[in-house]
Amino acid sequence: MFKTNTTFIGKVLIELSEVDSTSTYLQSRNSTDNLPEGAVVYTAFQTKGKGQRGNVWESEKGKNLLASILLFPKFLPPKYSFLLNMAVALAVRDTIVKYLPEPVSIKWPNDIWVNERKIAGILLQNAITMSTINSSIVGIGLNINQTVFSESLKEPTSLKSITGKEFSPLDILAVLCHYLEVRYLELRSEKVEKIRLDYKNNLLGRNVQRLFKVTSTGEIFSGIIRGVNSEGLLITEDSNGSKKRWRMKEIEFLRE
C-alpha cells in the first residue's frame, strides 16, 4: 500500500497498469485538468518510456519505479532552473542511500550511479513562459528488481543486482516522495547553498583524475571535475591547471 508522510508530493497518486510514458500522460492531464502540485503518475510498464537526449527508457514490466511528478516552481527564475535538477537528483540519491551501504553518486548532470553503473535516470521537462517556470514534469526511472538489461544499455544496475534482495517499488516511491518534498522545500526556502554543496559533494569523479572525450572533435583529455557553475555547466581542470566549462552533450566521461 502507498503511504506518504508528505504534505503535498504524492498526496494525489494516479496509478496506471500501463501507459506510453508517465511524463507524456502527466503533461496532457496537466493541460486539461486542475491537478495539484505534487501529483504523481506511477506505472508498472511504459510502452514509450522517454530518456534524456531522445533516448528510450527501457524497464521490465512491474520490476522498477517509473513515475512522474508535477511541480510548479514559479519561484525559480528560469536561469536558475539547474537548481531544480540538483534538488531532484539529490532526492533520488537520498532515497537510494536508504537501501544501500555503497556510495551513491550523481553523475553530471542528473544520473544516479552506484559502483560505476547507472541505477536511476531523471528527465525534467519545464514549461517556461516569459520569465517563469510554470510547471515542471519530473520523470524518474529507478531500477529496483530488474537484473537482466538490454545489451544496448550502457552499464545499468539495480537495487536487486547490488543487494540480491527484492524491494517494493511502491514503498520506494513513498520514500522518494518524502525526499523530493524535503529537497523541494529547501529550494523554495532559498537553502540554495546547501543544495549546491550537497550536489557538489556527491558528484561522481569530483577531484579525481579522469579521461574525457570532447564530442565535437573526439579529442581525449585527462582532467579533474571541480564542480558545476550556477547555470549547471560542468567545470573541469586539465593538467595545465586550465579550467573549462561544458554543456550537456559537449563532453563524455570515459571509463578508466
Binding residues for ligand BTN, per CB under 6 A? 21-23, 46, 49-52, 55, 57, 66-68, 111, 121-123, 139-141
Q: Residue 251: which of 107, 92, 90 has the closest Cα?
A: 107
Q: What is the DSSP letter of 108?
A: T
**How does strand 132-142 pair with strand 251-253?**
unpaired
Q: What 3-state DSSP class applies to 49?
A: coil
Q: What 3-state DSSP class applies to 19?
A: strand
Q: In angstroms, what is the minimal distance from the CB of 123 to ligand BTN? A: 4
Q: In angstroms, what is the minimal distance from the CB of 45 to ligand BTN? A: 11
Q: In angstroms, what is the minimal distance from the CB of 208 to ligand BTN? A: 22
Shortest Cβ contact with ligand BTN: which residue? 121
**How does strand 104-107 pair with strand 111-114?**
antiparallel
Q: In angstroms, what is the minimal distance from the CB of 41 to ligand BTN? A: 8
The residue written with cell numbers 565535437 in the block is 216
The residue written with cell numbers 502507498 in the block is 2
- Of 104 and 223, which CB lies nearer to ligand BTN in the complex structure? 104
- Of 64 and 223, which CB lies nearer to ligand BTN in the complex structure? 64
Question: What is the rounded end-to-end Cα distance, in angstroms, of the chain?
Answer: 43
- Of 45 and 221, which CB lies nearer to ligand BTN in the complex structure? 45
- Of 106 and 162, which CB lies nearer to ligand BTN in the complex structure? 106
